[in-house]
């Protein structure tokens, strides 16, 4: 009891409040440590930002420990600073190991920097994707798949080389680096179905590709909704790119350009994507130990400092030991550092009587308050208009677009417009495609070509995504389809010119838009085969029947390649799609699997992906 009373007396009672400042300043080592603290506190978040912060703070605490040992002769100051140095060192090693463990081979580095990093995919998420795959080499003139023989049991993405796609010996198109090899085949089958390739894929050069086994990838989708949504837009956009390239090859030499939905486009030369080199990071730790010269070692240690000093260091310790994987780690760290610096100012002013310590900690406090204010501002709840919340949740939130960025996108240069039933959004061969880009918020629109119905447009879908894509290649074109409001409609409309300028300043959002538009075009092409595919009344049917049971994307691709340039061929296609939409027949190249159950897009965490399928899972509806 007497010992506890003596300790409490040393912590509080034996420290009178300062009446004047000390005349002498602290030593040079202390000021060196303070400079390191200021520079360290200016660091940001993220892996490399945390490495920066903990390395400089660790060096600062090490210098402070040397200062306490040599100049101040204070055991408690030395002990606290040495403990904090050890914590910073351990955090640095832990983060450096995480960064070091997320290093990939050259193929994965190229894949990440060219495809996934622009979409904001973090290294840990990409590591999860990469661990489920393998890198495969395909020699020149060897086949990745043979028509009518190879089963569709994987999904592959080309990293280097070039692959030729043919059907019945006829050339269709090339596959270039960072394009999927078998995206049409993958998208044509549901998890419960199996099928075989209807084209032949042959390597024109020595190729390297990344491949995912189909069952393993579906398991990954079931466990990670973000990865599932990411692959969905990547595959959808890739299919649209392939169909555009195919139409460009078929309709070469024309002076006019038709909408992709009526399979008329002018030829533009496509070129392989330029490979970019990913920069690897190898963390290295260099311990810098300042060795004081011409200093005497303490012979008499000073008394224990005031309780305020120890409470301040407790807050520093709590902030530095918070796990970096915690979602609010940086906010909590800055908060603890802010409280600790405030208490240090109180201690230096009232009990240490050190003007330089008070000034330095005031600077520390100001830097940490600025960072904390910025982090809290970034985490503030961003209110999205109720009418736009559906678009955000459906299209942008699954791809991790921040609410404040979405609000900037929709709050500056766009407006919500209304169309009454029967009014036209665009007239065939009259309305310019260069003016706007729109997303339907409410209602339903009907798209037709020369009186032939093509498909419907439903809420949360782009109204003129094919026109936006064609405008990027050819300026001054007119709509090749007529779009009429089938109900009272409301849509979000951007000025295309101002939207383009904004996206150029936001590379992340530019990539998101590019893939969302590609995915939307693919969905519209599927709707050509069945105009009721997205109808609310057919939602249950949509989950039971795959797109392959109507017309697979591969069959659509082959029909484009074999279609003639005559209007009769187009009218025959339009008549064929309208009749096919009312009669669902199974594809001869498709069969059900008894090992897997369907994984719907909304599934986030589902550990039971594989289970015996019910014999009544699929029902074929045929009109009399």
Local confidence band at 179 (pLDDT 50, 70, 90 cut-offs)? very high
Local confidence band at 555 (pLDDT 50, 70, 90 cut-offs)? low
If you average pLDDT over residues 604-610, what whole number do you get? Answer: 39
Q: Does position 592 have pLDDT exceeding 60, yes or no?
A: no
If you average pLDDT over residues 322-338, what whole number do you get? Answer: 90
Q: Does position 285 have pLDDT exceeding 60, yes or no?
A: no
CB atoms near residue 606 (< 10 Å): 14
Residue 131's pLDDT is what? 87
Residue 269's pLDDT is what? 39
Tokens of 130: 């990469």
Tokens of 221: 């989708």
According to the 3-state scheme, what is the secondary structure of 204-262? Answer: CCCEEEEEEEHHHHHHHHHHCHHHHHHHHHHHHHHHHHHHHHHHHHHCCCCCCCCCHHH
Residue 575's pLDDT is what? 43
Q: Shortest CA distance to 514 belongs to which of 259, 236, 273, 262?
A: 236
Q: Does position 563 have pLDDT exceeding 60, yes or no?
A: no
Comparing 558 with 519, the larger pLDDT belongs to 519
Least confident of 226-235, 383-392, 589-598: 589-598
Inter-residue contact 340 to 312 (CB < 8 Å): yes
Least confident of 141-145, 175-179, 357-361, 465-469: 465-469
Least confident of 305-319, 347-361, 433-447, 528-542: 528-542
Local confidence band at 527 (pLDDT 50, 70, 90 cut-offs)? confident
If you average pLDDT over residues 572-593, what whole number do you get? Answer: 43
Q: What are phi and psi of 546, to 5 degrees?
A: -80, 165
620 by Cβ neighbours in 10 Å (0-12 / 13-18 / 19+) ranks as exposed
If you average pLDDT over residues 506-516, what whole number do you get? Answer: 90
Inter-residue contact 115 to 515 (CB < 8 Å): no
Residue 76's pLDDT is what? 85
Residue 380's pLDDT is what? 81
592 by Cβ neighbours in 10 Å (0-12 / 13-18 / 19+) ranks as middle
Local confidence band at 265 (pLDDT 50, 70, 90 cut-offs)? very low
Residue 277's pLDDT is what? 36
Residue 444's pLDDT is what? 93
CATH, range 386-529? 2.60.120.10
Q: What are phi and psi of 158, to 5 degrees?
A: -75, 135
Inter-residue contact 580 to 595 (CB < 8 Å): no
* Portion of the chain with pLDDT greater than 70, in percent: 71
Tell me: the pLDDT tens digits for 134-165?
999 999 999 999 998 999 889 999 999 999 99
> Does CATH number 2.60.120.10 belong to domain 106-252?
yes
If you average pLDDT over residues 484-503, what whole number do you get? Answer: 90
Inter-residue contact 242 to 184 (CB < 8 Å): yes
3-state class (DSSP) for residue 451: coil
Residue 11's pLDDT is what? 55
Q: Does position 570 have pLDDT exceeding 90, yes or no?
A: no
Q: Does position 513 have pLDDT exceeding 50, yes or no?
A: yes
**Average pLDDT along the chain:** 76
Comparing 102 with 474, the larger pLDDT belongs to 102
Q: Where are the domains of the chain?
A: 106-252, 386-529
Inter-residue contact 209 to 136 (CB < 8 Å): yes
DSSP letter assigned to residue 589:
T
Local confidence band at 413 (pLDDT 50, 70, 90 cut-offs)? confident
Tell me: the pLDDT tens digits for 57-71?
999 999 999 998 888
d(Cα 182, Cα 165) in Å, to the nearest integer?
10
Tell me: the pLDDT tens digits for 199-218?
999 999 999 999 999 888 88
Left (φ > 0), alpha (ψ -120 to 50) or beta: where does 84 sit? Answer: alpha
Say whether 386-529 and 106-252 share the same fold.
yes
3-state class (DSSP) for residue 119: helix
Least confident of 153-167, 188-202, 279-293: 279-293
């Amino acid at each position: 009891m007497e010992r506890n009373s003596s300790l409490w007396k040393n912590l509080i009672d034996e420290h009178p409040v300062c009446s004047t400042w000390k005349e002498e300043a602290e030593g040079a080592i202390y000021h060196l440590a303070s400079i390191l603290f200021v520079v360290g506190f200016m660091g940001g978040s993220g892996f490399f930002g945390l490495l920066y912060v903990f390395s400089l703070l660790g060096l600062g605490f090490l210098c402070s420990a040397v200062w306490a040992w040599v100049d101040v002769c204070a055991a408690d100051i030395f002990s606290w600073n040495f403990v904090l140095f050890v914590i910073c060192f351990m955090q640095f090693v832990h983060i450096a190991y995480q960064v070091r463990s997320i290093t990939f081979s050259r193929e994965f580095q190229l894949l990440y920097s060219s495809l996934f990093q622009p979409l904001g995919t973090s290294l840990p998420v990409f590591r999860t994707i990469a661990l489920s795959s393998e890198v495969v080499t395909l020699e020149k003139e060897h086949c990745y798949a043979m028509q009518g023989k190879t089963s569709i049991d994987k999904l592959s993405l080309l990293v280097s080389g070039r692959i030729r796609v043919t059907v019945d010996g006829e050339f269709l198109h090339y596959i270039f680096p960072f394009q999927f090899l078998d995206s049409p085949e993958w998208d044509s089958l549901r998890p419960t179905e199996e099928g075989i390739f209807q084209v032949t894929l042959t390597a024109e050069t020595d190729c390297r590709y990344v491949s995912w086994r189909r069952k393993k990838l579906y398991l990954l989708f079931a466990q990670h909704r973000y990865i599932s949504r990411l692959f969905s837009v990547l595959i959808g956009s890739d299919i649209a790119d392939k169909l555009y390239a195919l139409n460009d090859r078929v309709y070469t030499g024309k002076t006019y350009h038709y909408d992709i939905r009526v399979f008329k486009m002018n030829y533009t030369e496509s070129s392989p994507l330029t490979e970019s080199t990913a920069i690897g990071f190898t963390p290295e730790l260099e311990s810098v130990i300042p060795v004081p010269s011409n200093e005497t070692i303490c012979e008499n240690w000073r008394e224990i400092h005031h309780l305020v000093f120890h409470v301040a260091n407790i807050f520093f310790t709590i902030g530095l030991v918070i796990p970096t994987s915690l979602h609010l780690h940086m906010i909590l760290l800055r908060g603890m550092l802010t409280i600790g610096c405030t208490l240090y100012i109180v201690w230096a002013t009232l009990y240490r009587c050190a003007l330089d310590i008070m000034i330095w900690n005031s600077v520390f406090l100001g830097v940490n308050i600025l960072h904390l204010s910025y982090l809290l501002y970034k985490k503030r709840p961003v209110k999205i208009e109720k009418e736009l919340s559906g678009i955000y949740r459906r299209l942008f939130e699954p791809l991790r677009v921040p609410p404040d960025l979405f609000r900037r996108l929709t709050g500056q240069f766009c407006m919500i417009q209304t169309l009454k039933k029967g009014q036209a959004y665009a007239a065939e061969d009259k309305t310019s495609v260069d003016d706007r880009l729109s997303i339907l918020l409410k209602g339903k629109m009907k798209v037709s070509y020369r009186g032939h119905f093509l498909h419907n447009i439903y809420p949360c879908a782009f109204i003129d995504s094919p026109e936006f894509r064609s405008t990027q290649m050819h300026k001054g074109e007119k709509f090749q389809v007529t779009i009429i409001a089938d109900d009272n409609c409301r849509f979000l409309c951007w000025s295309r010119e101002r939207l383009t300028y904004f996206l150029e300043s936001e590379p992340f959002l530019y990539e998101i838009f590019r893939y969302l538009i590609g995915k939307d075009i693919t969905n519209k092409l599927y709707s050509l085969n069945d105009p009721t595919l997205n109808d609310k009344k057919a939602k249950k049917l949509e989950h039971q029947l795959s797109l392959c049971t109507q017309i697979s994307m591969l069959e659509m691709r082959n029909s484009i390649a074999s279609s003639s340039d005559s209007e009769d061929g187009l009218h025959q296609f339009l008549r064929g799609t309208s009749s096919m939409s009312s009669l669902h027949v199974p594809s001869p190249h498709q069969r059900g699997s008894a090992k897997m159950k369907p994984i719907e897009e909304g599934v986030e965490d589902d550990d039971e992906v594989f289970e015996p399928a019910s014999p009544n899972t699929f029902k074929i509806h045929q009109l009399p």
